[in-house]
């Protein structure tokens, strides 16, 4: 059944047979690991809620945000995770961002450098909509694993991370309003994938 669905999706894409076969074989090879990971999420009480979910709001006065969350899972009350009515839902969610490469989510860099702001700003938006975000994760398709924050042994709560990231957001907006666009990349590896590298003074100076 999975192969039929995958074949149908690939048939809708204008790709050569080589790439169709490559994508199909690559996906099918990691399918058992994906199934195992999804089973773990279900065992923890989460059920898929929505993909590519648009969110927007004003988490800080006069700072409006909008974006699209790759995936939202919802905590459900039913042990069988077969939600038949809204009464079986809770307001607890987890948000997931998909990455094709390795998962990079450092708690230290989040706190000290404001890394991975996007995830926690999404969490702030979901919170403003009345949801309780239990955790945020990066789903590495390459490694077929999810790195979660906060982790099980984390001393910080999700609210702590949201507050930290909102402070970084306020500072960034304040600097932009002053005309301060100074680039301070967390690491130069990040710069390789930046669309603005051709115009960035930091990159031009470094090279």
> pLDDT tens-digit profile of 123-172?
999 999 999 999 999 998 888 889 898 888 888 899 998 998 898 888 88
- Model pLDDT for residues 31-88, shown as the tens digit of each residue: 888 889 999 999 999 999 999 999 999 988 888 899 999 999 999 876 554 544 455 6
Nearest to 147 by CA among 207, 106, 190: 106
Average pLDDT score over residue span 180-191: 70
* Predicted local distance difference test score (pLDDT) of residue 12: 75
Nearest to 97 by CA among 76, 85, 79, 115: 115
* Predicted local distance difference test score (pLDDT) of residue 5: 75
The tally of CA atoms less than 13 A away on the side-chain side of residue 10 is 19
Calpha distance 149→134 (Å, rounded)? 9
Per-residue confidence at 187, pLDDT binned at 50, 70, 90? low
* Predicted local distance difference test score (pLDDT) of residue 60: 85
* Predicted local distance difference test score (pLDDT) of residue 88: 62
* Beta carbons within 8 Å of 108's beta carbon, 6+ residues apart: none
* Predicted local distance difference test score (pLDDT) of residue 83: 47
Average pLDDT score over residue span 173-195: 76
Alpha-carbon separation of residue 147 from 93, 101, 144, 151, 193 (angstroms) = 16, 13, 10, 8, 21
Calpha distance 114→118 (Å, rounded)? 10
* Predicted local distance difference test score (pLDDT) of residue 27: 76
Whether residue 147 contacts residue 103, with contact meaning beta carbons closer than 8 Å, is answered with yes
What is the phi/psi pair of residue 63, to 5°? -120, 100
Average pLDDT score over residue span 16-43: 83
pLDDT of 197 above 70: yes
Rg of the chain, C-alpha, whole Å? 20
């Amino acid at each position: 059944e999975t192969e039929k669905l995958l074949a149908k999706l690939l048939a809708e894409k204008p790709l050569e047979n080589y790439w169709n076969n490559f994508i199909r074989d690559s996906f099918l090879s990691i399918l058992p690991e994906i199934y195992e990971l999804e089973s773990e999420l279900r065992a923890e009480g989460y059920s898929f809620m929505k993909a590519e979910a648009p969110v927007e709001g004003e988490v800080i006065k006069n700072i409006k945000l909008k974006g699209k969350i790759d995936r939202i899972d919802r905590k459900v009350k039913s042990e069988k995770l077969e939600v038949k009515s809204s009464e079986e839902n809770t307001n607890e969610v987890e948000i997931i961002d998909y990455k094709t490469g390795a998962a990079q989510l450092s708690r230290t860099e989040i706190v000290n450098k404001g890394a991975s702001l996007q995830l926690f700003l999404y969490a702030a938006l979901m919170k403003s909509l009345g949801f309780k975000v239990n955790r945020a994760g990066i789903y590495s398709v390459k490694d077929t694993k999810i790195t979660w924050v906060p982790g099980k042994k984390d001393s910080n709560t999700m609210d702590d991370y949201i507050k930290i990231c909102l402070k970084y957001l306020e500072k960034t907006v304040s600097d932009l309003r002053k005309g301060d666009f100074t680039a301070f990349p967390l690491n130069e590896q990040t710069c390789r994938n930046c669309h603005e590298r051709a115009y960035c003074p930091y990159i031009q100076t470094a090279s």
